Amino acid sequence: MISSSSLAASLFFAQQDAAQGGGIAQMAMPVLLIVLFYFMLIRPQRRQQKEHQAKLAALKSGDEVIAAGGIYGLVTNINDRVVTLKIADGVKIRVDKNSVLSVLKASDEPAEAAKSDAAA
C-alpha cells in the first residue's frame, strides 16, 4: 500500500522532471521573440531611415517639399544642415534639413529654378 505522503512526493518529482524537460523550449522562446521583434520592427525602421537620408542627400534647389508642421515650399538654397524654402512670393524660411518630410516634385532643372527665384 502506498502512503499519501509517498504518493505526493512521487507526483512532486514527476512534475519537476517534466518541467526540466522543457528547458530547451523555454530558452528558444525568448530567442524567437527577439528575432521576430528584429524582423518586424527594427529592420523596417532602419530601411525607412536610410530611404529618408537618401532623399535628403538628393535634395536640390527647385524641389517642392513638405516640411514638418505641414509647410509646403520650394527649395531655394541648401547648406549642410539648413534648407531655405520659398513658401510665398517674397517669403522665405530656413528649416533644419531633417525637418523635410517628403519631396513632392523633384525639379528637372535646378539652375533655372534658382534663376527664377533670384529674379523674384
- Domain at 59-119, CATH class: mainly beta
**Whole-model pTM?**
0.61
In this model, does residue 16 exceed pLDDT 60?
no
In this model, does residue 36 exceed pLDDT 50?
yes
- Domain locations in the chain as residue ranges: 4-55, 59-119
Q: What's residue 63's pLDDT?
A: 93
In this model, does residue 76 exceed pLDDT 80?
yes
| pLDDT top residue among 17 and 107 | 107
Amino acid occupying residue 82: V
Q: What's residue 120's pLDDT?
A: 47
